[in-house]
Structure 1
Amino acid sequence: MTDQKVDSGPATALWQADAEAVHPLVRKAAAWSWRLLIIFAALLAVGMLVQKFATVVIPLAIALLAAALLAPLVDWLQRVGIPRSLGVFVALVGSIGLLAGILTFVVEQFVDGVPALSNEVTNSVHKVQDWLINGPPHLSDQQIRSAGDTIVRTVQDNRESLTNGALTTATTIGHILTGAFLILFILIFFLYGGDQIWHFVTRIVPTAHREKVRTAGELGFGTLVGFVRATVVVAAVDAIGIGAGLAILHVPLALPLASLVFISAFIPIIGAFFAGFVAVFIALVTKGPVTALIVLGIIVAVMQLEGHVLQPLLLGRAVSIHPLAVVLAITAGLVVGGIAGALLAVPLIAVGNTAIRYLLADSPEEVYGELAGGEDRRLFSAEPDKPEPGRFDITRTLRKAEAESGDADPHS
């Protein structure tokens, strides 16, 4: 058998000369560059699709968050003997009733507090006017009146824009109501048969990898349950602490501001900054700089309690994400889905991180042990809650994952 001669024509010689002329570091950089470009293009395409179908994607994601919050309650009701359909009904009616009652109470407090806020703002404006006239600026009444007339004229000149904005707001309210009904509809099916839906979706996965994908989704959902539950506790503590401080200082709209703190806590870092800014601003314009500084001190103290005590004990067990990743995720969520995107960014990243790490791992037990409390210094680290027996049984799914290369799985 004769050896084949390698073609040493002009093209081969030119290719070899070019390969020798390019530094290996440049070749590696080029190889990484086109791969990164493909990944970036894929992520961009996904973002554009999500933005295009945000009307469906955002309610779907919010329903998933709500399911993570209510699923443990529905499972408990089923364990005590209540049929699952009735348990879903009880959980939904109870949650909607509780939410409606809280919103009604907050709105009543807001309406009752508006007159006091108006009086406080009027007094503050008079004090500012007095300072502008008698203080260092030494302005005249005519100058102040001219500035006020300019503001009124600006509002009148932009009346059409304000009207269009009001119409846009009305349209947005219509979209919100439509989205709320869609969320409720999806949530009912998630709570009643979420595991069956997930098993149906994973049928498109090849049989050899199907059980591992199912387990990854179950672990991700466990992470989401832990995240939502811990975030609710942290948000409640923040709202109670800051709201109590505002009430003691007799700051107007203390309860609505506490509600804003609770809602903003679901958007890490940025939400706390926004709610704190609003509270300090209202304290400043109604009670003066001293009260505003005290409110700022209360907010800082509560945030320190959250960051050094509550998050390590509660939220840290569910999901721990590097602050840089949090800010980048929230920014991307704002660009793609607005406020709803910012709300959903962090929990969805936590779920995806848990699922992907399980899928890429060689040993399922190693990954689950790592998520359950091992030292992990990676950018993301999450511990899923233990699923309820009979729903997302981790022991069962891990056993099935181990047997992927062995006997046939009776529950595929």
Structure 2
Amino acid sequence: MQPVQPLLPEPVRRTAAWCVVILLVTGVAAVGIRLCVVLQTAVTPLLLALLGTALLRPLYRRLVRARVNRSLAAGLTCVAVLAVVGGAVWVVVASLVDNGDQITASLRHAGTSVARHFGAAGTSLDDVAENAGKLLSKFGATAASGVISGLSVVAEWIATGVLALLLVFFLLRDGGRALRTLRALAPRESGAVLEAMARRAFGAVEGFMRGTTLIALIDALCITAGLLILRVPGAVGLGALVFVGAFIPYLGAVISGAVAVLVALADRGFAIALWALGVVLAVQVLEGHVLQPAIQSRTVQMHPAAILLALTAGASVAGILGLLLAVPLTAAAFGVLAELRERYE
């Protein structure tokens, strides 16, 4: 009896099988992202808490090794977070309050210079101010409603931060119990694999957060020192902005550096702005050629193209929050893929 010949050649059947797998994975991912968007009120604090736990777990482990009670160690870690975040916010706000008038006056002086050079075109600073006053009186109700909606957004973010802090406490204290529960609920054959994947993903996020925080601190200190030497107003606040922006790879450094250069241009003139630009570029070269290979290569390795694609996808799904979470989540996905490759190759 002659064997039945397949209808399709082997390469075509193999390609079709991979297409089916890709479609299934894409469908599951799309459903998961959709559920996260619908349940973002609960998902956002959880994701922020996971990032905070990944960053703070070394401190928690040190306290536990020092024979501190687990609940007390988790509480002390959360208090340390409040102190650091509160101190950073205080530094930024105080810097803006102390130097806000000077920065505003510098920007007004720059606007006057521009109006003086382009006054022949029919545009002056007084005309702009008059038109702005008319627009403000015309759309006053809209502005008031915008302020009210902005206050509601601030209240929502405060509630999200409080919930995330509580989740950090429980994740620090009961993280091991959560992994054991995951392994117990999974089928017998896949429990160990799921636990290994979870540990690998969390390890990737932990390495990314630890490395990024160290790099952000070094960048902020270097740029702050340079701006202080150049006597740029609000140097400490601009350094804090650099520190926060460093958690958004590439884009954050460009935006925070551009703000620093613009403030230097408005207050100190073109020559000092060029020096400020040189400081920012030197720090970026130091980060790209020294800090990133020495620090991040030991924790998580991601191609710049993958980072840019992750940032674009995160921004399209969740805006600014997506920019903050895109790269850590992608690092976790790379960790899971690395675990599966090591197990099944």
Report the TM-score, using the length of structure 2 for normalisation. 0.90
Aligned 8 A contact 2:182 2:191 in 1: no
Give the alignment partner of residue 286 of structure 2, picking from 300, 305, 329.
Answer: 305
1:355–1:34 Cα change, 3 Å: closer
Q: Which moved more, 1:223-232 or 1:256-265?
A: 223-232
Show the counterpart of 2:321. Answer: 340
- Indicate the residue corresponding to 2:180 in structure 1: 199
2:262 corresponding residue in structure 1: 281
1:245 aligns with 2:232: no
For residue 191 of structure 1, report the CA deviation from its aligned partner.
0.6
Following superposition, the deviation at residue 96 of structure 1 comes to 1.1
Give the 3 Å change call, closer, same or farther, for CA 122–39 of structure 1 in structure 2: same
Letter in 1 for 2:247: F
In the alignment, what sits opposite 1:324?
305
Q: Is the alpha carbon distance of 1:192 and 1:143 closer, same or farther for their aligned partners in structure 2, counting shifts above 3 Å?
A: closer
User: What's the offset of the Cα at 1:224?
Assistant: 2.0
| 102, 107, 111: which one aligns with 2:97 | 111
Shift of 1:304: 0.6
Question: CA offsets, 1:320-369, max 9 Å, x none?
Answer: 21111111111111122221221111111112211232124336xx9xxx
Q: C-alpha separation between the residues in 2 aligned to 1:139 and 1:213?
A: 68
* Structure with greater Cα Rg: 1
Query: How far apart are the structure 1 equivalents of 2:34 and 2:62?
Result: 40
Q: What is the Cα deviation at residue 4 of structure 1?
A: 11
Give, as a single letter, the amino acid of the residue that structure 2 aligns with 1:252: P
Say whether residues 1:92 and 2:73 are aligned partners.
Answer: no
Q: C-alpha deviations, 1:286-320, integer Å up to 9, x for none?
A: 22322222211111110010010001111111112
- Matched residue, 1:269: 250
Distance 1:5 1:29, change over 3 A: closer
Paired residue type of 2:156: H
SS of match in other structure, 1:319 = coil
Q: Residues of 1 paired with 2:280 and 2:18: CA distance? A: 46
- 2:160 corresponds to which residue? 179
Contact in 1 for aligned 2:103/2:266 (Cα 8 Å): no
TM-score (norm 1): 0.76
1:128 to 1:217, Cα distance in 2 relative to 1, 3 A:
same
Q: Matches of 1:105 and 1:143 in 2, distance apart?
A: 36
Q: Corresponding residue for 1:122?
A: 108
By how many angstroms is 1:29 displaced? 6.6
* Residues 31 and 220 of structure 1, relative CA distance in 2, 3 Å threshold: closer
Letter paired with 1:244: A
Distance 1:243 1:325, change over 3 A: same
Structure 1 residue 65 corresponds to structure 2 residue 46: no
Report the count of equivalent residues: 345
Matches within 5 A, 1:13-412: 35-133=21-119, 138-139=120-121, 145-362=126-343
From the superposition, tell whether residues 145 and 95 of structure 1 become closer, same or farther in structure 2 (CA, over 3 Å). Answer: closer
SS in 2 for 1:92: helix
CA change 1:288–1:78 in 2 (3 A) is same
AA of the residue aligned to 2:266: V
1:238 to partner: Cα distance: 0.7
CA contact (8 A) 1:58 1:341 kept: no
Unaligned runs of 5+ in 1: 7-15, 367-412
Question: Which structure features the higher share of helix residues?
Answer: 2
Identity of aligned residues (%): 33
Change over 3 Å in CA distance of 1:193–1:155 after alignment to 2: same
- The alignment's C-alpha RMSD in Å is 2.7
